[in-house]
Structure 1
Amino acid sequence: MQAVSIETSRSLRILYIVRTAFQVVWAAAVIATAMKQPVIAAVLFVLYPLWDVACTVYDLNTASRSGSARTSQTINALLGVAAAIGIGLTVFRQPIYSVAIFGGWAFGAGLLQLVVGLIRRKQAEGGQWAMILSGAQSMLAGIAFFLGGLYDKRHIQDVGGYAIFGAIYFLIGGILLTRQLSKAAGAVVETSR
């Protein structure tokens, strides 16, 4: 494993573990507030794509140096900002549209995550099969949210389950990267002997 790849893997591991923790807390908050405090749930709903944007920007600054992965993530960040604006404009007036917007964003973000995962897997950065599966699952969930929003389903708490599944994938990715980094550290010790 090269030095750049080790640094990238470390950055991704930190990102994945932080995302895991945040998403579990966020999901619990959305599920707890959706029925009794819908205004708080609505604000959390707007914040989720912005959280994804913040994570994408971190990833862009630490791991995605150039190429197709960087382009995909730049598009993902712009998509997240647009989704947050769209959700913010509709969540209090037409919640069904905000669910549909979230679904469109989840589909697009999942597709872009799938692309980045495939690119990184090809570059042997490891821990990416979980991200590939997460991207595919996000695309399927996005379709369900989009169609649900169009057919008058306004249950924002359903998004909590979506975030929990994402957290599981990020946790698996973080564990796989930790194992990869441990193997790389062991290889360095062996070659220095």
Structure 2
Amino acid sequence: MDTSVTTRGTAPATPVTGAASLRKLYFLRFAFAAVWAGLLFATADTLGPLSAALLVAYPLFDVACAVVDARSARAVGGPVRGLYVNIALSTLTAVGLAVASTSGIPAVLRVWGVWAVTAGLVQLVVGAVRRRLGGQWAMIVSGAISTLAGASFFAQAGADGATLSNLAGYAFLGGVFFLVSALRLKRPGKSA
């Protein structure tokens, strides 16, 4: 499949690779996670309108990123099934978090925990399938950590004084894994 970009009257530009698209997307995901984590951490002790909006925004951003990722992967003939599963999971999670936000922090932690487990497993599989692109070990490790963290969030929901601060730390760490993957992805003519 030809993925080069041609401008009228000029030679074809450098082909757009799956790795180049992922690199840009991963940098964006890191930046979003860092800002989001800071904002949620600042409001982590209460569940007000701002924290509720942030909670719903995170999986919606994940949906948008997975849509972009799926389009890029499809354009270069890459696998997309795991991305479609992620889109469905994150969409359901956004709805679940909107509902859970009306019930309190423990309900939010339970919904987020289930999402972290399921999305972590999907991320682990997608990273394993994409390992030939390089830089995917961080996605595989991140998926495994997400699965464990999800179980932890679910357990924390039953504890006294439950807070959202661990979600902020989880998101920031996930962003760091995206940054590491972006930096390690193969560039044309180089190996990671």
1:166 maps to which of 137, 159, 174: 174
How many angstroms does 1:47 deviate by? Answer: 1.2
The structure with the largest helix share of the pair is 1
User: Equivalent residue for 2:112?
Assistant: 102
Task: Quote how far apart the aligned CAs of 1:93 are.
Answer: 2.0
Q: Which residue of 2 is the match for residue 127 of structure 1?
A: 135
Where does the alignment leave 5 or more consecutive residues of structure 2 unmatched?
Answer: 5-14
Q: Deviations over 1:58-106 (max 9, x none)?
A: 1001125567x41111111101011110110111223311210111001
Equivalent residue pairs, number: 179
3-state SS of the aligned residue for 1:35?
Answer: coil
What CA distance in whole angstroms lies between the structure 2 residues aligned with 1:36 and 1:100?
16
Task: Determine helix, strand or coil for the equivalent of 2:157.
Answer: helix
Q: Does the Cα contact within 8 Å between 1:6 and 1:181 map onto a contact in 2?
A: no
RMSD over equivalenced CA pairs, Å: 2.4
- Contact kept, 8 Å, 1:96 with 1:152, in 2: the verdict is no
Aligned to 1:127, the other structure's residue is in SS state coil
Match among 90, 111, 122 for residue 80 of structure 1:
90
Deviation at 1:42, TM superposition (A): 1.6
CA contact (8 A) 2:47 2:101 kept: no
* Aligned equivalent of 1:181, options 184, 187, 191: 187
Cα 1:14–1:89, aligned 2, differ >3 Å: closer, same or farther? same
Given the two structures, how large is their TM-score scaled by the length of structure 1? 0.84
Residues 31-64 of structure 1: per-residue CA shift (max 9 Å, x gap): 0122367321121011111111111111001125
Distance 1:10 1:55 in 2: 15
Contact 1:50 1:80 in 2 (8 A): yes
Alignment of 1:31-110 (within 5 A): 31-35=41-45, 38-64=48-74, 69-110=79-120
